[in-house]
């Protein structure tokens, strides 16, 4: 036998899997397993262990939010947005979820040989518009090109930093029984918009992605003076996955009133035809806020005054300390358990 065929080390499985699956990047149970079993124990940072959208770190006497995200969406352009807009807003939103005012971004491009400059220029201009829209500067970057057939036109990574104001402490571990859960608007549009282009589906009403910056909305919420316990933007895995993550990380149980969750009729119809649950479909411009009951009315009113959250609604509450159960009560039927799916219903959504 040839020596190079021998291996003395055992292959390392992760859960039941020997290799990476699409669902390991899907925002569901398998991604959580990857983070818990490989990344967190190996890197071991207490800031990462908070498991928030951005890490809160201290430099000198300044508290800084720091985050990074990669974008692999297919198709590159879709109703209501494109990969460039997503790459800016997605990272800005993750900074905003710590209560930070986003300031500076980096952009890393992985380009496939043969990508038309017309496509790249459109994407880069869209990023510049999005950055100026939310008041951040793209200050550094990187470009790599891979051989034709070894990429998929363009992948983008952005990282970002922003200052967290004194007295602002927004993270899952602060969520408490009694907190009220406020959703900033209708859910499911981003996922359905992507799917409509990917599958060539046409609906009576054009469904556009909700892709938007949440930075000004967060500033509006903070200006109320409310002691916001947690914020989470709804991306892969939708509302249900975000609620599951926070419930598990905070060690609490949640109860949701399903009738209070806004879903556009066209999105609800499309989900019914496609066999998707809108509560698990991706969004790119929505958040949930966990606030103590005494601040709920004030925060809700302020949110409704912001253009990206005029349909904000109270959708539920934190019932008790617990094991992270999320129960949805319907208007007629019995309550159902909103569990974490193994991965995203639609891969490569962002």
Among residues 234, 235, 212, 187, the alpha carbon closest in space to that of 348 is found at 235
Minimum distance from CB of 233 to Mg ion (Å)? 4
| Contact pattern for Mg ion over residues 32 through 71, marking x by CB under 5 A | ---------------------x------------------
**Which element (helix H / strand E) includes 196?**
helix 189-198
* 240, 315 contact by CB (below 8 A): no
Token pair of 51, please?
């498991």
- CA angle 255–260–264, rounded 5-degree value: 130
344 interacts with Mg ion by CB under 5 A: no
Query: What tokens were used for 73?
Result: 């969406």
CB 91 within 8 A of CB 105: yes
CB of residue 235 to Mg ion, shortest distance in Å: 5
From 91-99, 158-166, 177-185, 338-346, span contacting Mg ion (CB under 5 A): 91-99
Enter the tokens of residue 282: 């991706």
* Residue 94 interacting with Mg ion (CB under 5 A): yes
Which C-beta is closer to Mg ion: that of 53 or that of 179? 53
Smallest distance from the beta carbon of 314 to Mg ion, in angstroms?
21
Residues 221-250 that bind Mg ion (CB under 5 A): 233
- Nearer Cβ to Mg ion (246/270): 246
Mask of contacts with Mg ion, 185-204, x by CB under 5 A? --------------------
Nearer to Mg ion, 72 or 124 (CB): 72
Please state, in angstroms and rounded to a whole number, the distance separating the CA atoms of residues 49 and 30.
17
Contact 190, 341 (CB under 8 A): no
284 belongs to the binding site for Mg ion (CB under 5 A): no
Where does this chain bind Mg ion (CB under 5 A)? 53, 94, 233
């Amino acid at each position: 036998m040839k020596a190079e065929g021998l291996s003395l080390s055992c292959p390392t499985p992760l859960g039941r899997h020997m290799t990476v699956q699409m669902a390991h990047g899907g925002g569901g149970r398998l991604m959580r397993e990857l983070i818990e079993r490989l990344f967190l124990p190996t890197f071991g940072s207490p800031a990462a262990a908070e498991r928030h959208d951005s890490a809160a770190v201290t430099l000198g006497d300044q508290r800084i939010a720091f985050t990074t995200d990669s974008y692999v969406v297919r198709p590159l352009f879709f109703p209501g947005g494109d990969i460039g807009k997503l790459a800016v807003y997605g990272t800005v939103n993750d900074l905003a979820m710590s209560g930070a005012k986003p300031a500076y971004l980096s952009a890393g491009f992985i380009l496939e040989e043969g990508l038309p400059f017309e496509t790249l220029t459109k994407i880069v201009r869209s990023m510049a518009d999005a950055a100026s829209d939310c008041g951040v500067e793209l200050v550094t970057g990187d470009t790599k090109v891979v051989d034709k057939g070894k990429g998929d036109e363009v992948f983008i990574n952005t990282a970002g930093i922003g200052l967290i104001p004194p007295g602002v402490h927004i993270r899952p571990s602060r969520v408490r029984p009694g907190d009220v859960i406020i959703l900033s608007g209708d859910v499911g549009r981003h996922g359905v918009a992507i799917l409509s282009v990917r599958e060539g589906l046409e609906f009576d009403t054009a469904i556009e992605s909700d892709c938007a910056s949440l930075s000004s909305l967060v500033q509006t919420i903070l200006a109320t003076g409310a002691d916001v316990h947690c914020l989470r933007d709804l991306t892969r895995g939708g509302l249900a996955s975000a609620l599951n993550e926070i419930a598990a990380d905070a060690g609490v149980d949640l109860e949701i009133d399903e009738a209070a969750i806004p879903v556009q009729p066209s999105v609800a119809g499309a989900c019914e035809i496609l066999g998707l649950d809108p509560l698990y479909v991706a969004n790119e411009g929505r958040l949930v806020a966990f606030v103590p009951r005494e601040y709920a009315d004030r925060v809700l009113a302020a949110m409704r005054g912001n253009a990206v959250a005029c349909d904000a609604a109270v959708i539920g509450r934190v019932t008790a300390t617990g094991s992270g159960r999320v129960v949805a009560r319907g208007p007629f039927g019995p309550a159902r358990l909103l569990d974490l799916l193994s991965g995203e219903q639609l891969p490569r959504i962002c």
